[in-house]
Chain A
Amino acid sequence: MTKGLSNVAAVVGVGQTDWRRDYRDQRGGAPGRLDSPGLAALAFTRALADAGISRDEVDGLIVGPTTPYERMGELLGIDARWGGQADAMLAVIQACMAIKSGLAEVVALVYGNNQRSGKTNYGGSNAAGGASFLSYVYHAPWGFTSQGALYALMFRRYMEETGLTEAQLGEVAVAQRLAASLNPDAIMQTPITVEDYLASEYVCEPLHKLDYCLINDGGVALIIMEAERARKTGRNAVQIHGVGRYDLNTGATSMEPRLTDYYLPAQKKVAAQVFDMAGVGPKDIASAQIYDSFSCHIPLALEGYGYCGAGEAGRFMAEGNIKLGGRLPVNTSGGHLSESYMQGWGHQIEAVRQVRGTGGARQVPDCRFVHYSSDVAGKAVSIIYGK
């Protein structure tokens, strides 16, 4: 008996581009090797190969926000029964919805972003995303800009309210860099300490540079298949056990939901939905993949989803719980901070790898369920992947 979108669909293939090599080459002055659709296309061919299916089996296509839908389908030669454009987490949910409703059986999700070689600005007078999120541009007359500043402002107040220290926040960057040091594909692999973190420069105080995501080129793709068909034909299928979503829109530009409750009410609603749909709870989760454009997303999610008590995230992290080998290893590929900034797409395929048991040196033992979570601009989303 399935509930909602539980076990409706499974991930049967994942692919990614060579972001470590591309980052190194671009740091050395080389131009971008591929544009955004090109990066998405490369990841797609690898996901297809991983799934062991032919392109002609794909009957649904969802592209990320950084590539045009029609052109992407044209490039890949995919005429779709169902298609669209979405961010990583909503793309996965929409694929499940399309499959559940019979509109598609095999959905390709593709994302490519040449944000480094293409010089995307996430702050300043032409900040990306302003057309979708008014808060990204509305407070510019006072010099207030960048998504990092929005989270710095929010987290300053959370720190004061809960007593979470800068050194405790530094545990996020340290834990994720440790994981990245065991990931041959991660861009940043040199381990760091909390002391290194505290000595690093501020970008928007209280956030240090090591709290910020990388900016790099890359692409990610997933093939999501109807669950029964995946069981028959898919190799290494990873089930989607539950999804949840709650969007805080009211007061978003004046930052009411950021500064009063830190989006925690949205995460609590999503927790109830996703854990109920999946039939599991926080204690069943072996690893969490948490959208980390900034490190402070992690303590907020730990509290919001009940992995620790209210106001206890700082202590929970300082006790080593989010490191590999800890109670809940978080962002085991290195995440946005140390592996690659793929706007949540990389987190989906890391969840798949961990459930498959193909995480190599960073594999979490006995990894039955992985929880993905994001709270970008108060849009809280969760997905639970599992065997």
Chain B
Amino acid sequence: MGKTQPVMALDDRPMWDSIAEGALKLQKCSGCGAFRYPPGPICAECLSMESEWVAVDGGGNVLSWVVFHRKYFDDFPPPYNAVAVRLDEGPIVMTNLIGDPPEGSWIGHRVQLNYVDHDGRRQHAARIVDAG
């Protein structure tokens, strides 16, 4: 079965380094200011190949969520959730919701990224910050 591991292409390293430090940075185009996620060598908006790494605030809203009832990885015993979060800066990231889930639908709830230790790796997770 095996454990999860991040895709670590040439452009991914700085993001994971920032996650390890507890403050997610994303790649921002030096040409037009658009964020790139996942990181990559060129801006899909303006085709600039220049970029800088910028810390994001970590606030966002839940776009959708699922609950896994089947085991796919040794480090994720079911049931467990995954949520798609639209960050305030624009990009959509996948993460896990930690803390008490809201009653009913999770969609639209306000979340803040936290940083957790997962099986020897530091990564982000989302916590609900609104009143529901």
Contacts and interface: CB of A to CB of B under 8 A. Distances in A.
Contacts of A259: 63-64, 84, 92
Q: How big is the A interface, by class?
A: 35 or more
Contacts of B92: 251, 254-256, 259
A142 B123 contact: yes
B67 A123 contact: no
Contact of B1 (A124, A137, A149): A124
A146 B5 CA distance: 15
Contacts of B38: 134, 138, 253-254
A205 B7 contact: no
A214 to B, nearest CB: 16
A124 B95 contact: no
Contacts of A126: 2
A82 interface: no
A140 B69 contact: no
B66 A140 contact: no
Contact of B94 (A125, A139, A146, A154): A139
Given A125-B73, A206-B66, A143 B84 contact: no
A140 B70 contact: no
Contact of A144 (B37, B70, B82, B91): B82
Given A123-B72, A125-B73, A140-B4, A160 B67 contact: no
Interface string A108-120: 0000000000000
Interface string A126-168: 1000000010011111111110010011101100100000000
Contacts of B68: 143, 149, 204-205
Given A153-B64, A254-B37, A201 B2 contact: no
B73 A140 contact: yes
A251 B37 CA distance: 8
A190 interface: no
B123 A141 contact: yes
B107 interface: yes
Interface string B85-98: 00000011111100
Interface string B76-115: 1000101010000001111110000000010100000000
Nearest to A207: B66
Given A140-B73, A145-B73, A125 B5 contact: yes
A319 B83 CA distance: 33
Contacts of B7: 134, 137-138, 140
Nearest to A144: B82
Given A140-B4, A142-B123, A143-B76, A157 B64 contact: yes
B13 interface: no
Q: Secondary structure at chain B's binding surface: helix, strand, loop or mixed?
A: loop
B69 A205 contact: yes
A203 interface: yes
Contacts of A137: 7
Contact of B93 (A145, A153, A254): A254
A137 to B, nearest CB: 6
Interface in A1-42: none
A143 to B, nearest CB: 4
Nearest to A253: B38
Nearest to A139: B94
A149 B66 contact: yes
B69 A144 contact: no
Q: Name which of B38, B66, B73 has the most chain A CB atoms within 10 A of its CB.
A: B66
Q: Name which of B38, B70, B105 has the most chain A CB atoms within 10 A of its CB.
A: B70
A198 to B, nearest CB: 15
A350 B59 CA distance: 49
A201 B70 CA distance: 10
B39 to A, nearest CB: 10
Interface string A79-119: 00000000000000000000000000000000000000000
A134 B7 CA distance: 9
Contacts of B4: 125, 140-143, 145
A160 B66 contact: no
A204 B66 contact: yes
Q: Name which of B2, B3, B68 has the most chain A CB atoms within 10 A of its CB.
A: B68
A202 B84 CA distance: 19
A125 B2 contact: yes
21 contacts: A124-B2, A124-B73, A139-B82, A139-B94, A141-B4, A141-B118, A142-B82, A149-B66, A149-B82, A156-B66, A160-B105, A160-B107, A202-B69, A203-B70, A204-B66, A204-B70, A205-B69, A206-B66, A255-B84, A259-B64, A259-B84
Interface of B: 1-7, 37-38, 44, 63-70, 72-73, 75-76, 80, 82, 84, 91-96, 105, 107, 118, 121, 123
